[in-house]
Structure formats: structure tokens, C-alpha cells
């Protein structure tokens, strides 16, 4: 079950909302926990036991760490907890990757294991690990109520595809939450906006990549359309899920932190990674990069730290070499920028900085979305005109004409320009009055349009479900 589905929108969510708000405050966590476990069960019924076991393990580890805080025992326990969490993640996500590479290196014929990837395992494992580590650091108290910890790990708004919510962000709200009409209204608006980004922008853009893979008239323009289409799709797909998660969280009284901040307006790759998937970037910064020494060490060790973090970032996204190279490539670019390039970027016109950044991002997402490194290189050669193909083709021009309005709208919406226009208009009292009166109608109409698209289309993936 995904947020952008009729089942979720018109059956699951309304039932949960009604049950939640008619239930006394002291029982609402139980309603939300049952709803979250049912939500996960609907998407991954055979792994619900694994999910519950993971919750129990981390609850026990948290209590043990706090009991022995300040002793060597606590250190052994937290290391053990991290190893257990990583082992669970490794077995279910990376088994076949290791089998494939061991077989290749030693010329063995080891059969692949038939283990399906549990949805959201990368997200909820990292959330559990952040809780365990924060308890060890003394930054939060261990949660003595196992149901509250279970709710934190399983909370359905962010369970499947993030953002990665730190326990310290919501620990007080697990015990007591404040509700207001303003928060509820904000949550609804944010959810509908995210849903619109997903259904009206991300889904149609996602079709472009598929067209380019099976085109009968390949051209440079065809490959560029596919690459730009996917670059826009992955942003609107993932940021839409974050919008919907933040909106749903606010409806239920939780305040999740932002996960995207218009990354495509960045003027460097360093800035891009401060704006893209913020919760993952800060997780690796706080729990890996800084403990390794960060940049407050020798230059050689700093290079090592960057390499480790970006290797892990790439590997977190997927169990294949193209993800690893994607991550390490960004690490190399970031080092080069920080050492040699950043001052140059500050001196040249902003337009060239944007172009430089966007070109790297577009090519990087070709590697990210390809099934293999060789496929990615082949696609890039097509973009660069190295495949003995024409610059244009009738098919490419047809797709350009068909998608040009959508792509222009998507590019515009990937910047803060629409928000600034609305914000500026809100300062006009007459416009503000009209908008305030029409706002509920606008969102209802938008929801009706979205529903029509969902009923009419069978193409409704969530890209980050596979992570």
C-alpha cells in the first residue's frame, strides 16, 4: 500500500483518522501503532515478524545500554546492537551482491538466495541505530515503554521511504502531543501538495526514461530527454513522499524535520548534498563522518573519512556496483571542490555554477538508474553523441513536444519561484482574502484531479521503496 493509491486515500487513511481522533488521548498511540503495523503488513506480510523482532531487539539493547551507561559493558552492548542491525540489513539486502562477487572472484558457482528485499528496511534500520547510539551517548533516555519505541520505529507516515526521523526529534511527542486546527490544516495541505507532486509530475516524467530505453529511433535528444526526465522524476517522487510524510506526521501531532530544500538550485555539489535527502546526509555526518574524525584530522585521514562515508552512502542506496561508484564519485567530486574548485565557483557567474552542478547531477542519475555500469556508460555515450546516432529524430521531437509543458512546469516547481510568488501575493490583503476563501476548494479540486489520474493510470511506482 502506497500513499498515492486509492486504497490508502479513501479507505485506510479515513478509517485511521476517525479511530484516532475519537479515541481518548492516552490510547491514541495504540491506535497509531496498530495502524502502522497493519500498514506494513499490507505491503510486506511475510516480513512483519522480522520487523517486530527488530523492534524488540532494539528495545532490549536500549534498556541494557542505559543500565550500564558509563562502563565498558555499555560499549560492548552498543557495538553488538550495531552489528546485529547491520547483519539483518546485510542478509536481506546484500546477500546476493556478496554471493555474486565472491563467485566471480573465486570462479565459484554459488546459487543466489531467494530473499525478497523487505520494504523500508534501510530506513527503519537506520532509525533504530540512531536511537541506540543516542542512548549510548547519553543524548536521550532509553524508552522504557516498548509500545512507544515500536511506534517510533514503525510510524507509518515515514516507515517506508523516510525521512529518517531521529528519536530525539520525536521522543517527547511520543509521550505527549499538542493538537491544533492550524497544524491539522497545514498537514492536509502539505500532504495534498506532496500527492500532487507525485501523481501529476513524478509519474508522467517517469515514463520518459522507459521510452528512451526502447526507442526505435535513438538520437542524442532522446537520451537527454530520458536523463532529464528521470532527474526530475526522482526529485518529485522522493520529495513528494517526504512532503506527504511530514504532512501526515503533523496531522497526528508529530513534527518531522525537512528532507529537501530545492536541491536543483544549488551552485555546487557541496551545496546540492546539503539540500538533498537531508536526513540521510546528517545521519552519516553524525554517526559515521564525525566519529571517524571528520575534517578535523590529517588530510590523508580526511580523504579516508570522505571515501568511507560516500562508499556507505552509495551502498545504502542499492546492492550493486553502480550505486557504489555513484557514491564514491560524489565523494571524489566533493573533495576536489573543497580543495581546488569552490573558490573558483564563487567567482564565476551563478549561471555557470548551476549548469556545472546540474550536468553532474544528470549524469550521476543515469548511473544511479541504470541496471549495470555498462548500460550506464552506453546511455552516457548516447547523450554525448558517441553512438553514431543523429542529434534529432522524429520520435524524439514527438516526445519533446508532448512533454515540454510538463517539463517546464516541473523545472519551475523544482525552484522556490512559485512559493515566492504566492508568498508575495499573500501580503496583498485583497488577494489574501480571496485565497483564504478559495483555498479549501482549490485543494478539494486538486484531490479530485489526482484521484482521476490514479484511476486512469497504472504507472504509480515509488522509487525509494527499493531502498
Alpha helices, H only, 107-219: 121-137, 146-154, 156-159, 167-175, 181-196, 203-213
- Are 208 and 222 in contact by the 8 Å Cβ rule? The answer is no
Distances in Å between the alpha carbon of 309 and those of 255, 327, 379, 387?
28, 9, 27, 35
Max CA-CA distance within the chain?
A: 74
Residue 61, C-beta contacts closer than 8 angstroms, at least 6 positions apart: 77, 78, 80, 81, 84, 132
User: Which set of grid coordinates corresponds to residue 429?
Assistant: 490583503
Q: Residue 68 catalytic?
A: no
Nearest-angstrom CA–CA distance, 112 and 133: 33
Secondary structure element (H or E) that encloses residue 413, with its range? helix 394-413
User: Which set of grid coordinates corresponds to residue 4?
Assistant: 498515492
- 25, 277, 317, 354: which one is catalytic? 317
CA neighbours within 13 Å on the CB side: how many for 363?
16
- Are 161 and 124 in contact by the 8 Å Cβ rule? The answer is no
Query: Is the sign of the CA dihedral 443, 444, 449, 453 positive or negative?
Result: positive
Radius of gyration of the chain (CA): 23
Active site residues: 317
Amino acid at each position: 500500500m502506497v500513499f498515492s493509491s486509492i486504497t490508502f486515500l479513501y479507505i485506510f487513511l479515513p478509517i485511521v483518522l476517525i479511530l484516532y481522533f475519537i479515541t481518548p488521548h492516552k490510547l491514541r498511540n495504540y491506535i497509531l501503532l496498530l495502524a502502522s503495523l497493519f500498514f506494513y503488513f499490507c505491503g510486506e506480510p511475510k516480513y512483519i515478524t522480522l520487523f517486530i523482532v527488530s523492534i524488540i531487539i532494539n528495545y532490549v539493547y536500549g534498556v541494557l545500554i542505559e543500565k550500564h551507561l558509563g562502563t565498558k559493558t555499555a560499549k560492548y552492548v552498543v557495538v553488538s546492537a550495531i552489528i546485529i542491525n547491520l547483519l539483518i540489513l546485510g542478509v536481506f539486502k546484500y546477500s546476493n551482491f556478496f554471493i555474486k562477487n565472491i563467485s566471480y572472484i573465486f570462479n565459484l558457482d554459488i546459487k543466489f538466495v531467494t530473499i525478497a528485499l523487505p520494504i523500508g528496511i534501510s530506513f527503519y534500520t537506520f532509525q533504530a541505530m540512531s536511537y541506540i547510539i543516542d542512548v549510548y551517548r547519553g543524548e536521550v533516555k532509553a524508552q522504557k515503554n516498548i509500545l512507544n519505541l515500536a511506534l517510533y520505529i514503525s510510524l507509518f507516515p515515514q516507515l517506508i521511504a523516510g525521512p529518517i526521523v531521529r528519536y530525539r526529534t520525536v521522543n517527547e511527542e511520543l509521550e505527549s502531543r499538542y493538537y491544533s486546527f492550524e497544524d491539522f490544516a497545514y498537514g492536509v495541505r502539505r500532504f495534498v501538495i506532496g500527492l500532487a507532486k507525485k501523481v501529476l509530475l513524478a509519474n508522467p516524467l517517469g515514463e520518459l526514461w522507459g521510452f528512451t530505453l526502447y526507442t526505435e529511433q535513438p538520437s542524442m535528444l532522446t537520451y537527454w530527454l530520458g536523463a532529464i526526465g528521470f532527474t526530475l522524476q526522482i526529485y518529485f517522487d522522493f520529495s513528494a513522499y517526504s512532503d506527504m510524510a511530514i504532512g501526515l506526521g503533523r496531522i497526528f501531532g508529530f513534527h518531522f524535520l525537512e528532507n529537501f530544500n530545492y536541491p536543483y538550485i544549488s551552485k555546487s555539489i557541496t551545496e546540492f548534498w546539503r539540500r538533498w535527502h537531508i536526513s540521510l546526509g546528517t545521519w552519516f555526518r553524525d554517526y559515521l563522518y564525525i566519529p571517524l574524525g571528520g575534517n578535523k584530522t590529517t588530510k590523508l585521514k580526511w580523504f579516508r573519512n570522505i571515501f568511507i562515508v560516500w562508499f556507505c552512502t552509495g551502498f545504502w542506496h542499492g546492492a550493486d556496483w553502480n550505486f557504489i561508484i555513484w557514491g564514491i564519485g560524489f565523494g571524489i567530486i566533493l573533495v576536489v571542490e573543497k580543495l581546488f574548485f569552490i573558490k573558483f565557483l564563487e567567482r564565476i557567474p551563478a549561471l555557470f555554477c548551476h549548469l556545472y552542478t546540474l550536468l553532474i547531477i544528470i549524469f550521476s542519475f543515469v548511473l544511479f538508474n541504470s541496471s549495470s555500469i555498462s548500460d550506464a556508460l552506453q546511455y552516457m555515450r548516447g547523450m554525448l553523441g558517441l553512438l553514431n546516432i543523429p542529434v534529432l529524430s522524429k520520435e524524439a521531437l514527438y516526445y519533446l513536444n508532448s512533454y515540454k509543458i510538463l517539463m517546464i512546469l516541473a523545472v519551475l516547481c523544482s525552484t522556490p519561484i512559485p512559493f515566492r510568488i504566492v508568498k508575495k501575493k499573500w501580503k496583498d490583503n485583497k488577494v489574501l482574502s480571496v485565497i483564504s476563501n478559495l483555498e479549501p476548494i482549490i485543494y478539494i479540486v486538486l484531490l479530485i484531479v489526482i484521484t482521476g489520474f490514479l484511476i486512469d493510470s497504472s504507472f504509480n511506482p515509488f522509487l525509494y521503496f527499493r531502498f
